[in-house]
Amino acid sequence: MCMFCAAVPMTATFGVVMDNKQRKKQQAKGRSVGRIRPTLLAMVFVIILLMIASAYIHAKFPRYF
């Protein structure tokens, strides 16, 4: 498994953990939690970039993977 393919689940896990921390902190302050949160948007953006990089690397160097 290449480093880009391995980084996708790690990024998703890290993003979910950070989002849960942020949501619990906002709930403790008594604020309502919005549906679209910056942590989730950043996580999705990074995962898309990793998937594009992975597709490029796998297409450019297929014999190494």
C-beta atoms surrounding 3 within 10 Å: 10
Q: Residue 53 has what pLDDT?
A: 94
Structural domain spans, the chain: 3-23+37-64
Instruction: Give the confidence band of 52 by pLDDT, cuts at 50, 70, 90.
Output: very high
Instruction: Note the pLDDT tens digit of each residue in 3-19.
Output: 989 999 999 999 999 99
Percent of the chain at pLDDT > 90 equals 55
42-49 contact pairs (CB < 8 A, 24+): 42/15, 43/11, 43/12, 43/14, 43/15, 43/16, 43/18, 43/19, 44/15, 46/11, 46/15, 47/8, 47/11, 47/12, 47/15
| Distance between CA atoms of residues 64 and 4, nearest Å | 14
